[in-house]
Amino acid sequence: MSEVVKLQLIGLSVVGVGIVILLFVRAQFARVTGFVAIVLGLFSLVALSVPQMASLPPAEEKFDIATVKTPTDMAAIGQKIFFSKGQCALCHSIGPSESARCPDLKGIGAKLSREFIFESLTQPQAYIYLDYRHEGLPKEYPARMPYINKNPIGLTKNEILSVIAFLQQMSGEPISVNPSELEVPGQTPAAPVKAGDSVPVAVAQAR
Amino acid sequence: MRHQGGLIQRVIQTIRGSRGILAGLMVAAGLFALPSFGLAADAAPAVATEYRDIPGIGSRNIVWVIAQLHLLLAGFVLGVPIFAWLCEVVGWKSGEKRYDKLAKEFTKLLTSSYATTALFGGILLFLLIAFYPKLMNYLTDIFFPSFIFYCILFLLETATLYLYWYGWDAMQDGGKKTFHIFLGFLLNLFAFFIMIVPNSWATFQASPVVIAEGTDLQRAWAATWNPTWWPVNIHRLIANVVLGGYICGAYAGIRYLAARNAEERDHYDWMGYVGNFIGVFGLLPLPFAGYWLMREIYQYNQQMGITLMGGFLSWLFILQAMLIGVLFLGSNYYFWLGITHRIPGSEGQYKKPIMAMLVILLLCLGVWMTPHSLVASLEEARKMGGTHHPLLGVFGVMSAKMTVANLMILVTFMSFIMYWRAGKQETATWAKVARAVMGAVLVIAALAVIVLGVWGYFVPAIIRINYFSTSQVLIVLFVMLTITPLTALLLKSARTTTEMVWGRMPPRAGYALVLNAVMVILLMTLMGYARSSSRVHWHIYGVMRDSSQYAFSPALGYAAAFMALNTFLFCMLVAFIFWVATMGDKGKAGYGGGAKGELPHGMPAMAGGSQSLSKLKG
Q: Give dist(CA A75, CA B339) in Å, integer.
A: 68
| CB within 8 Å of chain A, chain B residues 516-545 | 518, 522, 533, 536-545
List helix spans (H) across B468-608. Answer: 469-492, 507-533, 556-592
Residues 6+ apart with CB under 8 A from B141: A200, B2, B3, B4
Torsional sign, CA B199, B204, B207, B209: positive
* Residue B387 binned pLDDT confidence (cut-offs 50, 70, 90): low
Q: Classify residue A195 by its DSSP letter.
A: G
Strands (E), B357-401: none
> CB–CB of B513/B276 below 8 Å?
yes
Query: Is B299 near chain A, with CB under 8 Å?
Result: yes
Reported residue count of chain B is: 618
CA proximity to B560, closest of A7, A3, A35, A51: A7
Determine whether the interchain pair A204/B208 forms a contact, defined as Cβ–Cβ distance below 8 Å.
Answer: yes
Domain layout of chain B by residue ranges: 287-524
pLDDT tens, position by position, B69-83: 999 999 999 988 998
The chain B residue lying nearest A15, using CA atoms, is B564
Average pLDDT over residues A152-173: 91
**Cα-Cα end-to-end distance for chain B:** 71
Q: What is the pLDDT of residues B309-319, one digit of tens each?
A: 777 788 898 89
Contacts of A52 in chain B (CB under 8 A): 555-558
- Taking CB atoms and an 8 Å cutoff, what residues of chain A touch B301? 146, 152, 205
Asked if A43's CB is within 8 angstroms of B522's CB, the reply is yes
Phi and psi for A140 in degrees, rounded to 5? -95, 140
B602 band by pLDDT with thresholds 50, 70 and 90: very low
Where are the domains positioned within chain A?
A: 3-49, 65-184
Distance, in angstroms, between A89 CA and closest chain B CA? 10
Identify whether the C-beta of residue B308 lies closer than 8 Å to the C-beta of residue B531. no
Q: Which tens digit of pLDDT belongs to each residue from A28-42? A: 999 999 999 999 999
Rounded to two decimals, the pTM is: 0.81
Of A46, A98, A207, the CB nearest to B300: A207
> Residues 392..411 of B with a Cβ closer than 8 Å to A: which?
none
The mean pLDDT of B376-403, rounded to a whole number, is 72
Q: CB distance A87–B575 less than 8 Å?
A: no
C-alpha span between B441 and B480 (Å, rounded)? 10
Peptide bond into A152 cis (omega under 30): yes
Residue B125 in this model has a pLDDT that exceeds 90: yes
Q: Quick one: B162 exposed, middle or buried, by C-beta within 10 A (0-12, 13-18, 19+)? A: exposed
Distance from CA of A58 to the nearest CA of B (A): 8
Residue B47 has pLDDT above 80, yes or no: no
Confidence of residue B127 (pLDDT cuts 50, 70, 90): very high
Residue in chain A closest to B48 (alpha carbons) equals: A197
Backbone angles phi, psi at B424, to 5 degrees: -130, 150
Given a cut of 60, whether residue A98 has pLDDT beyond it is yes
Which band of pLDDT confidence, cut at 50, 70 and 90, is reported for residue B242? Answer: very high
CA–CA separation, B313 vs B534, rounded Å?
8
Min mean pLDDT across A117-121, B57-61, B266-270, B497-501 is at B497-501
* Res. B306 pLDDT band, cuts 50 70 90: confident
Q: What is the CATH number of domain A65-184?
A: 1.10.760.10
Q: Region B236-255: what's the mean pLDDT?
A: 93
Averaged over A120-142, what is the pLDDT? 83
Q: Residues B521-532: pLDDT tens digits?
A: 999 999 999 999
Flag whether residue B582 sits within 8 Å of chain A, measured between CB atoms. Answer: no
Residue A99: pLDDT band with limits 50, 70, 90: low
A44 CB neighbours in chain B (<8 A) are 557, 560-561, 564
The mean predicted confidence, pLDDT, of chain A is 83
- The confidence score (pLDDT) of residue B269 equals 93
DSSP at B49: P
The answer to whether residue B474 scores a pLDDT higher than 50 is: yes
Return the pLDDT at B2: 42
Q: Residue B254 is nearest to which of A14, A32, A56, comparing CB atoms?
A: A32
Distance from the B296 Cα atom to the nearest Cα atom in chain A, whole angstroms: 10
Exposed / middle / buried, residue A133 (Cβ in 10 Å: 0-12, 13-18, 19+): exposed
Please compute the mean of the pLDDT values over residues B119-148 and round it to a whole number.
95
What's the pLDDT score for residue B563? Answer: 97
CB contact under 8 A, B511 and A44: no
Q: Does the pLDDT value for residue A156 go beyond 80?
A: yes
B260 touches chain A (CB under 8 A): no
**Residues B195, B424: Cα–Cα separation, whole Å:** 41
Neighbours of B429 (CB within 10 A): 8
Residue B607 has pLDDT above 50, yes or no: no
Cα distance from A94 to chain B (closest Cα, Å)? 15
Higher pLDDT, B55 or A41: A41
Nearest chain A residue to B375 by CA distance is A51
Nearest to A185, CA basis, from A80, A75, A76, A63: A63
Give yes or no for residue B142 having a pLDDT over 60.
yes
Its sign, for the CA torsion B103, B108, B109, B114, is positive
What residue of A is the nearest CA neighbor of B250? A32
Say yes or no: B265 contacts chain A, CB-CB below 8 A. no
| Option in A46, A53, A91 nearest B312 (CB) | A53
What is the rounded distance in angstroms from the CA atom of residue B273 to the CA atom of residue B281? 12
User: Cβ separation of A207 and B299 shorter than 8 Å?
Assistant: yes
Mean pLDDT of B540-549: 90
Is the pLDDT at B29 greater than 60? The verdict is: no
Q: Which residue has the higher pLDDT, B107 or A131?
A: B107
* Beta carbons of A39 and B516 less than 8 angstroms apart: no
pLDDT value at residue A197: 36
Residue A191 DSSP label = P
- B590 pLDDT tier (thresholds 50, 70, 90): low
Beta-bridge mates of residue B304: none
* Mean of per-residue pLDDT scores for chain B: 84
Q: Confidence band (pLDDT; 50, 70, 90) for A167?
A: very high
What is the Cα–Cα distance from B261 to B238, expressed in whole angstroms?
35
Stated as kind and residue range, the H or E segment containing B544 is strand B544-545
Give the residue-averaged pLDDT of B392-419.
88
Taking contacts as CB-CB distances below 8 angstroms, the residues of chain B near A101 are: 302, 306, 310, 461
DSSP category for residue A55 = B
* CB-CB under 8 Å, B537 with A55: yes
Confidence class for position B5, pLDDT limits 50, 70, 90 = very low
Task: Flag whether pLDDT at B488 surpasses 50.
Answer: yes
Give Cα B217 distance to the centre of its chain: 31
